[in-house]
Amino acid sequence: MLKAVVTDLDGTLTDRRRRISTAAIEAIRNLVDAGVPVVLASGNTTCSLDILCKMIGTDGSIIGENGGVYRYRFDGKLQVAGRQEACWDAYHRIEEHFAEEGKALTLYSPENRFADVAFARTVSPAETAEVIADMPVRAVDTGFAIHLQYDGVTKGSALAELAALMDLVPDDFLAIGDSENDTEMIRRAGVGAAVGNAVPGPMAAAEYVAEKKYGEGFVEIVRKYRPYFLER
């Protein structure tokens, strides 16, 4: 029996251009109205997730910064995991490395991040990962940005912590995603699923891969597993 949903945002509820699927929003509202909690789990910042939760109509439970922050409901305390200083050390080394090739990096909303460091995919994600291979920080390519995150911190580790705050366990969740940053969450959830546009990592970890892509894939997955939810 499933009790809650945890879903990625970019590439799962949105398309390549980050336009949100209205069908996916409807599917989330139907779940919420049936008493099924829906958690947004993203590489995005807390403030951007907050606006989305309000407008979609969830209770504000979120995982942000790829697991670096999480919070139960709007009025819960924001929990911060990992070590952002270590991510900044890694960032400075990457910055120097690419500066030698004449390439400057573009940071994404550093003023709103408490745990990770994110920047534009204007440099090779693989080369970025190599530059910091000996550091306790991983470079994660989401297809939308490159994120630097402290070892062991993932959407999956945050799911375990957040589930406890919700009086649940990861096994109670249906998890849905599309990118490398979703693999651990998909693996740890009771049921892990990937949308049709997913990259190989989360696809291999998923027990079900949707035929459809992006928001339509999300809706397909929710429909498939709807009978397994306990309505409250």
Q: Which residues of 99-129 are buried (b: 16+ CB within 10 A; e: fewer)?
A: eeeeeebeebeeeebbbbbbbeeebebeebb
Site for ligand PGA in 44-103 (CB under 6 A): 44
Examine residue 11 and tell whether it contacts ligand PGA (CB under 6 A).
Answer: yes
Query: Are 44 and 79 spatial neighbours (Cβ–Cβ below 8 Å)?
Result: no
Q: Among 149, 154, 181, 183, indicate the residue that binds ligand PGA (CB under 6 A).
A: 181
Q: Candidates 41-49, 67-75, 160-168, 196-204 — which segment interacts with ligand PGA by CB under 6 A?
A: 41-49
- The question of whether 8 is a catalytic residue gets the answer yes
Residue 180 CB, shortest distance to ligand PGA, in Å, is 10
Examine residue 21 and tell whether it contacts ligand PGA (CB under 6 A).
Answer: no
Site for ligand PGA in 141-160 (CB under 6 A): 142, 144-145
Residue 145 CB, shortest distance to ligand PGA, in Å, is 4
Written as one string, the DSSP assignment of 41-103 is E-SS-HHHHHHHHHHHT----EEEGGGTEEESSTTSPPEE-S-HHHHHHHHHHHHHHHHHTT-
Q: Specify the residue, 45 or 219, whose C-beta has the smaller distance to ligand PGA.
A: 45
Which residues in this chain contact ligand PGA in the complex, by CB under 6 A? Answer: 8-11, 42-44, 142, 144-145, 179, 181
